[in-house]
């Protein structure tokens, strides 16, 4: 039986490691041809060689810095139409709002928000023309419930959710699907930058998500009408409770929220 994603063309940003790498690998295992973007050529090349050796599909790498949003349209011209876009690239810093530099603030929004929006704008015309396509935006539970020392990161993920929810409604008659993925902390290199003192990882390490499980879940819903993926279930439950009783959740969770 043919694989579900056979010869689908999937572009994955931030694919040189972590969740993006695993999404690329499991997409390729399903028969998809993958295009991987990231800043680290050596890491991208290593991912490419593994995919070529084990999956026997087309795999292309593009060395690219997501903060250079003005270059995305030019880069896209070398890529051409895709069936699925996975906006995975992003980073965060666990710092108090007053301690975060203007430079880091701008960079975080360039990568997490403006880069995501610009890539989406680049791929959408072709998807709409063929009445088929899927935009998958990696957001975060931080986009649903903010915590101390992650104000700017949470702001970027709130923006991703707001953009995605509006976009989904705009595209409802086009055949193009929009899914947001809202994971809690995942065992990846994300925290080498975000949590440089290691306190957050030490506090929540036993609850961290396995990147392979998250990636497989994402691949399993590709080209389906899945609105959101929320992981883990218990954390999403807290996020839902927060929407109804924000003051209560902030009071009860104050000590846990400050463990960064």
CATH of 9-257, one of 1.20.1250.20, 3.10.129.10, 3.40.50.720, 3.20.20.70: 3.40.50.720
* Domain regions of the chain by residue span: 9-257
**Active-site residue 153, yes or no?**
yes
Q: List the beta bridge partners of residue 178.
A: 135
Residue 163 has pLDDT above 90, yes or no: yes
Q: What is the pLDDT of residue 208?
A: 82
For 64-110, write each residue's pLDDT tens digit.
999 899 999 999 999 999 999 999 999 998 889 999 999 999 999 99
Is there a cis peptide before residue 206, judged by omega within 30 degrees of 0? no
pLDDT at 2: 54
> What is the predicted pLDDT for the residue at 1?
38
Percent of the chain with pLDDT over 70: 91
CB 153 within 8 A of CB 92: yes
- The residue annotated as part of the active site, out of 153, 163, 200, 242, is 153
pTM surpassing 0.75?
Answer: yes
pLDDT, tens digit (0-9, with 9 covering 90-100), for 165-192: 999 999 999 999 999 999 988 887 776 6
Where does residue 255 rank: exposed (0-12), middle (13-18), buried (19+ CB within 10 A)?
A: exposed
């Amino acid at each position: 039986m043919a694989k579900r994603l056979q010869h689908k063309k999937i572009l994955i940003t931030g694919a040189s490691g972590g969740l993006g790498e695993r999404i690329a690998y499991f997409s390729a295992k399903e028969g998809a041809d993958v295009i991987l973007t990231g800043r680290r050529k050596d890491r991208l090349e290593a991912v490419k060689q593994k995919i070529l050796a084990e999956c026997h599909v087309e795999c292309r790498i593009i060395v690219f810095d997501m903060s250079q949003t003005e270059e995305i349209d030019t880069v896209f011209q070398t890529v051409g139409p895709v069936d699925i876009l996975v906006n995975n690239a992003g980073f965060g810093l666990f710092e108090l709002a007053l301690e975060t530099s203007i430079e880091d603030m701008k960079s975080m929004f360039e990568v997490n928000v403006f880069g995501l929006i610009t890539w989406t704008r680049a791929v959408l015309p072709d998807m709409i023309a063929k009445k088929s396509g899927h935009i998958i935006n990696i957001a975060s539970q931080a986009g649903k419930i903010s915590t101390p020392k992650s104000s700017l990161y949470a702001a970027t993920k709130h923006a991703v959710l707001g953009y995605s929810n509006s976009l989904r409604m705009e595209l409802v008659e086009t055949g193009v699907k929009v899914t947001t993925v809202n994971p809690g902390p995942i065992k990846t290199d994300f925290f080498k930058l975000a949590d440089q003192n290691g306190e957050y990882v030490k506090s929540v390490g036993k609850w961290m998500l396995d990147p392979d499980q998250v990636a497989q879940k994402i691949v399993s819903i590709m080209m389906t009408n899945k609105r959101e993926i929320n992981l883990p279930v218990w954390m999403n439950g807290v996020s839902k409770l927060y929407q109804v009783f924000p003051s209560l959740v902030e009071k009860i969770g104050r000590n846990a929220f400050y463990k960064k």
